[in-house]
Amino acid sequence: MARVLALFLTLILAGPAFAQAPASAPASTVVQTDNVRAELVADVAAVKPGEPFWVGLRQTIRPKWHTYWKNPGESGLPTEISWTLPPGAKADPIVWPAPTLFDIGGVTNYGFKDEAMLLVRITPPAGLAGPLKLAAEANWLVCEDVCIPEEGKFELVLPSAAAVTPAPPATRALFDKARRAVPTESPWPARYGVSKAGDPTLVVEAKGLKPETISNVYFFPAEWGPVATMAKQSAAIDATGIRIPLKRGDAKATMPATLMGTLVLTEKTADGSVKQAFDVSAKLDPAFVPTASTSLAGATGAENLSLVQALLFALLGGLILNLMPCVFPVLAMKAAAFARLAGHGRAEMRRDGLAYTAGVLVSFAAMAAIVIAIRASAGDVSWGFQFQSPVFSLLIAYLFFVVGLNLSGVFEVGNRLAGVGQGLVSRGGTTGAFFTGVLAVIVATPCTAPFMAAALGFALSQPAPATVAVLLAMGLGLALPYLALSLTPALQRLMPRPGPWMDRLRQFLAFPMYASAVWMIWVLTQQTGADGVLYALGGMTLIAFAIWLLRLGSGATAGTWLRRGLAAVAVLLAFGVTLKLDDSPATAASASGGQNAGVNFDGWERFSRARMDEAVAAGKPVFVDFTAAWCITCLVNERVALETPAARKAFEQAGVVKLKGDWTNRDAEITAVLKELGRAGVPLYLFWAPGADKPRILPQVLTESLVLSELSSIQQAKR
C-alpha cells in the first residue's frame, strides 16, 4: 500500500510534465528531454537476415538525478520500451545492468545515475530484403527531489547485407562497457530458507572467499514483493560463503520456489577494489529454517540526534577526547608546546594557540573531504578506517619514532635535513604548533569518547555540509583547552617560568612517543603477523641511519652529497617496506591478544551475527565487545573493566555468552552492525539481559563497577 501511495503521489506531482510532453514528437535515434539524453544505437552497421544483433537504449542522466531498475524499490517506475518491428522480427526483453541503491529520505530505490545502457537483442526476419527499420517508444521516470515522467520515440534504420558489418569502434566500445555492467551468472549455488517469523535468509555458498577482502554486499531482489526493500541488509561473510538475513516484503502471496535477484559486492584485489555483480537464483530449502535476525533498532542508549544536538555532542566529545587514552601520546607533544610558550610574549602565545587550532581544524576538514570522497565512490566509511591498513600503522609508527628522536635532541627538524623545510623553520614555533595539531588529529582518529560516538554516527550518514560541520565542531572541541590557554592572560600567569627544566622535560617527553611507536608495531603484528616486527624495526633502523648520516657534516663537498644520497636511499628503503605488507593475514588477533578465528579465546567467542542471533533467541544473556588492537580506549577498558578477576567471575556466574568483534582489520559484518546502530567506530559494547528484545548500549568508557552492576541484575532476577 505504501508503494502504491508513493507512486500515486509521484504521478500527481509530475502531472504537468505529461501535459508538456509533445503528443506526436518525430521519431529519431536521439531524444533530448530536460533531464535525460536518450539514444538508440546498434552494435552493427549492417544486419544479416535471421542473425541476431544487439541494440541499446543509452541514457545519459542529468547530474544528481536517476532513473529506475526493473525492480524500482519502494517507489518509482522502470524504463519500458515498446517495439514496432517488421513481420518476422523479434525483440527480446531488456537486459538490465547492475543497479545502484538510492536512499532518499529513508525510501530505498534501485536505479541508475549518470549513465545507463539498456540492452535488447533483436532478431531480424530470415527473409529480410532491404533495410531493417526499428521503431521504438520508450518511457522512463527520472527523479531527484521530484519525479518527472519522460518519453521518446526512436527510429533506427539499418541496411541488410550478406554478412554482418560491425559498428564503428567507438560504438563497439560503448557496447563492451554496457556488457561489463551486466551481472554475470553466479558461479556459486544459492538457497534460501524462511524463519518461523516468515523472514527469508539468503545463503550463497561462495566457499573460499576471504571475508576481509569483501565489502558493500547487497542483494537486489528481481521482483517487488517477496523481499522488503526498506529493511537494511547486514551480510555475514566467512569461509563458507555469504549469508544475508532479509525481511519479508508486503506481497501477500507465498514465497516463490526460486528467489531471483542480483548480488552486488566489492572485492579488494591486487589491482584495487573491483565491483562485481552476479545474477542469483536461490531455491527454497524447506529444511533450512534460519534463526530470525536480531533487530538492533531502538537499542537502549542509542541516540537519534538532530543537527544541533550532533554539533553540541561533537563539541563535547572533542573536548573529552583530550582526556581519552588514545590521545595520551599527543598530550606529551602538547606539554612540550606549553613549556615553549612559557617564555613567549602574549602575542606569540596567541599566534601559537591559533596555529595549533588551525592545524586541528584543517586536519578535520581534510578528513571530512576524504570521508565524503570515499562515501561517494565506495559507499560507507567508518571512523578510524585508516588504522585498518597495516601500511598506515607502519607509517604512524615511523612518525612516532621520528618525533621521539626529535624530542630527545638527536636532530632538529629542518636544521640540516638537506635544506628541506627551511621556509617552515623561519616561521618559528608557529609551524611546530600547527603540526602538533595535525598529529593530535591523526592519533585521535581511532578512538571515540562519550558524546562523540553518536555525533560521528550522525555525521557519517548525513549529506556533505552536515558531515563537515560536525567534524569541525569536534575539532574545535579538541583544540579548545590549548586555545583557551593561549588567549587567556589569567591562565598564562599560572604557567611556570622558563628555565633549564624545559630541556629536561622535552627529553623526557620523548619516551611516551617511543612507547607509542612500540604500540603501533604491536598493532602491525596483529594485522600482518610476526613479519610486521621485522619490517617496522628494519625501517626504523634505516631512518635512524639516514638521520645520523645527515648530522655528520654540512657544506657542498662531495662527501656531503654522498651522505645525502645514501640517506635518501635509506629512507626510500624504509618506505619501500610498505610494499611487503599484507593486510589480509591468515589469522587476525583480537585486541586482547587471542587468535584463531572461529574458536574461543580467553573465554570469548569470535563475533558473528548468526551466533549473536542464536544466543539472543535462546534467551541467554549476551555481551558483545566491538574492539580493535589500534583502539587504546578499547584496550584500557578490557584491562580495567572486562578482564579483571571480579568481572570474569561475574560473567561466568551469570552464564553470559561473551562475543568479541575484532575490527583491527576490515570486517564487513562488524561494519554493518555498527552502521545499523548509528555508530561510526569502536569501542562499542552491547548487553542483552536474559530474554531481552533489545540490547543496552554501554558507555565507551567502562569501569569494573559498571560492568558488575549490569551483571548483578541477572543474579537478582534469578533469585
pLDDT confidence band for 336 (50 / 70 / 90): low
**pLDDT for res 20:** 38
Q: Are 685 and 633 in contact (CB under 8 A)?
A: no
Please name which of 155, 161, 139, 148 lies closest in space to residue 45, comparing C-alpha atoms.
161
Q: What is the pLDDT of residues 582-619, one digit of tens each?
A: 654 433 344 444 443 344 457 899 998 888 888 888 88
Residue 255 has pLDDT above 60, yes or no: yes
Half-sphere exposure (Cβ direction) of 83: Cα atoms closer than 13 Å:
22
Residue positions counted in the chain = 719
Can you name the residues that pair with 28 across neighbouring β-strands? Answer: 154
**pLDDT for res 481:** 85
**pLDDT for res 687:** 94
Cell 559484518 belongs to residue: 669
Cell 620523548 belongs to residue: 510
Domains of the chain by residue range: 2-168, 190-284, 307-580, 605-718
**pLDDT for res 379:** 59
In the predicted model, what is the mean pLDDT of residues 335-351? 66
Of the candidate CATH numbers 3.40.50.2020, 3.40.50.300, 3.40.30.10, 3.30.70.141, the domain formed by 605-718 belongs to 3.40.30.10
Q: Are 665 and 583 in contact (CB under 8 A)?
A: yes
**pLDDT for res 8:** 41
Q: What is the pLDDT of residues 554-576, one digit of tens each?
A: 555 777 888 888 989 999 999 88
Q: What is the pLDDT of residues 399-447, one digit of tens each?
A: 889 888 888 888 765 443 333 333 333 334 678 788 888 888 877 776 6
**pLDDT for res 416:** 39
In the predicted model, what is the mean pLDDT of residues 100-104? 87
Residue 448 has pLDDT above 90, yes or no: no
In the predicted model, what is the mean pLDDT of residues 359-387? 79
Q: Do the first three CATH levels of 2-168 and 605-718 match, i.e. the same topology?
A: no
Cα end-to-end span (Å), the chain:
48
CB neighbour list of residue 451: distance below 8 Å, 6 or more residues apart: 313, 314, 316, 317, 320
Q: What is the pLDDT of residues 676-707, one digit of tens each?
A: 887 878 889 999 988 888 899 998 889 999 99
Distance of CA 15 to the CA centre of its chain: 39
Q: What is the pLDDT of residues 186-241, one digit of tens each?
A: 999 999 999 887 889 999 999 878 877 888 899 999 998 899 888 878 888 877 88
Assigned CATH for 2-168 = 2.60.40.1250
**pLDDT for res 621:** 92
pLDDT confidence band for 103 (50 / 70 / 90): confident
C-alpha cell of 482? 590549548
In the predicted model, what is the mean pLDDT of residues 267-292? 88
Query: Regarding predicted confidence, which is higher, 625 or 502?
Result: 625
**pLDDT for res 22:** 40
**pLDDT for res 595:** 41
Q: Which amino acid is at 296?
A: L
Percent of the chain with pLDDT over 90: 38
In the predicted model, what is the mean pLDDT of residues 542-558? 80
**pLDDT for res 335:** 56
Query: Regarding predicted confidence, which is higher, 398 or 378?
Result: 398
Report pTM. Answer: 0.58
Give CA–CA dist 402/163, Å, rounded: 70
In the predicted model, what is the mean pLDDT of residues 509-538? 86
Residue 122 has pLDDT above 50, yes or no: yes
Query: Regarding predicted confidence, which is higher, 381 or 201?
Result: 201
